Structure 1
Amino acid sequence: MPDRAMRDPALETLADIANDNLAEQLRHEAAARILVAARRVRAMVGTHPGEHLVDTLTSGWDPRSVTALEYAEGLPVRVLDGFLGAAPRWARLMRELLDSPEPGAAAA
């Protein structure tokens, strides 16, 4: 049974649920997804005015040394809470920035 438990993600999740760790794991996974998305978006838009908490934390993550999940797991709870709380506003701002026409582009 121990070998099976080590290989089966469902059994790992079951253990997380039983130990009441699932919510925290999901928060870290969400933060990791945001970090990866923010890095990709930054590559598309470059720097932009009004740096945001999401940008600040993303710039502090070095994907060559730790994974996004490891970085998220290392954040203090208050910082993680702020990061997750700020992400929806950041995402809306980035969508607006990406959807706006290029400066000097002719209107169709």
Structure 2
Amino acid sequence: MPDRMARDPALDTLAEIANDNLAERLRHEAAARILVAARRVGDLVGPRHGEHLVDTLASGWDPRVVTALEYAEGLPVRVLDGMLGTAPRWARAMRDLIESPPGAAAA
């Protein structure tokens, strides 16, 4: 029974909560979701290197080398904060770009 308990994800979460680390874990998970979304959006609209911090970070992530979560965990706190802070504006811009009729940007 102790071996099973040591591997139980619920116990890992309890340890994170007890040690007040849950918020940081959630920040990393949110950043990982943003990175994955940015890659998928890039597949829809083409690469957007350097146009936005989210795009820049997503283009710097190599999913063949590390997972999105591992990449997010390795980001400096300032960069992570910057990405999380600007992600809503990036998401709105990408949604507008994807939903805009073809040729609308030229008008």
TM-score after normalising by structure 2: 0.90
Runs of 4+ in structure 1 over 3 Å off: 47-50
Residue 2 (structure 1) shift: 3.7
Q: Counterpart of 2:30?
A: 30
Contact preservation (8 Å) 1:5, 1:12: no
Runs of 5+ consecutive residues of structure 2 not aligned to the other structure: none
Q: How many residues align?
A: 104
User: Quick one: distance in 1 between partners of 2:50 and 2:99?
Assistant: 17
Question: How has the CA–CA distance of structure 1 residues 102 and 49 changed in structure 2, closer, same or farther, with 3 Å as cutoff?
Answer: farther
Residue 48 (structure 1) shift: 4.8
What are the superposed Cα offsets for residues 60-108 of structure 1, whole Å, 9 maximum, x if unpaired? 000000000000000000000000001000000000001100128xxxx
Residue 6 (structure 1) shift: 2.8
TM-score after normalising by structure 1: 0.89
Q: Counterpart of 2:40?
A: 40
Contact preservation (8 Å) 2:49, 2:59: no
Residue 7 (structure 1) shift: 2.5
Runs of 5+ consecutive residues of structure 1 not aligned to the other structure: none
SS at match of 1:64: coil
Residue 86, structure 1, aligned to residue 94, structure 2: no
